[in-house]
Amino acid sequence: MANIDIVAAELAKMWKKDIASGIEHQIEFAREVVLNLFLDPQLALQACDDDGTMQAVAFARMKDDVNTSMQWVEDFLADKDDEERKKVLETTAYLLRTEHELLNLMNEDSAKFSFLISKKRGYAKALQERLMPMLIDRGARWTYHITDSTCSWQYFDAHGYERVHEELVERFNTPSKPYYCYMYRKRIQEP
């Protein structure tokens, strides 16, 4: 949590499109997304270079972990105008809906990679590999991921993940590119 603003700024840069008006609002939006996905500090890792520069972040959660992000959303909205409130509430509704859909797909012995972002090649994979034994120790046999068409979703297709859901989300379409939400799963431990 100490690096939430750094993570949000990196996420806003990596989206490479206007999610909200102006970079400050894009970072605020990214912060909302990150806070919505950060549930268990013991399952949140970051990878840094030797000089301490953060290069990747990964969050995971077990199926029964409770999401408390709505308190942050309520606090965030306290001083916003009607237009910004509407935008944040629409985004929050989308995030909560996709989270609910994924949780319904998950078995009790499942974990979810809530967030995975990397500035350098190989760092995300290292964080995933570090989190896997931690998830298995908590009883996970499956791992689930939500990603979208603005991210490196092809990674999952190429690395043995099964796509269990695909949805066109018109709200986030751009004139030149449709926006898809994808959900994947992979067995990490045999029964």
pLDDT at position 123 is 85
Amino acid at 102: L
**Mean local confidence (pLDDT), 87-105:** 84
Neighbours of 72 (CB within 10 A): 15
> How high is the mean pLDDT of the chain?
82
Highest mean pLDDT among 12-26, 131-145, 170-184: 131-145
Backbone φ/ψ region at 111: left (φ over 0), alpha (ψ -120 to 50), beta:
beta
Q: Are 166 and 179 in contact (CB under 8 A)?
A: no
The pLDDT assigned to 135 comes to 94
Label residue 175 by pLDDT band (50, 70, 90): confident
> pTM of this prediction?
0.79
Q: How sure is the predictor about 68, in pLDDT bands with cuts at 50, 70 and 90?
A: low
Model confidence at 16, pLDDT cuts 50, 70, 90, reads: low
Residue 15, pLDDT score? 60
The pLDDT of 70-94, averaged and rounded, is: 77
SS (H, E, C) 80-127: CCHHHHHHHHHHHHHHHHHHHHHHHHCCCCEEEEEEEEECCCCHHHHH
pLDDT of residue 180: 93
pLDDT tens per residue, range 103-150: 899 988 999 987 777 888 888 888 888 999 999 999 999 999 988 888
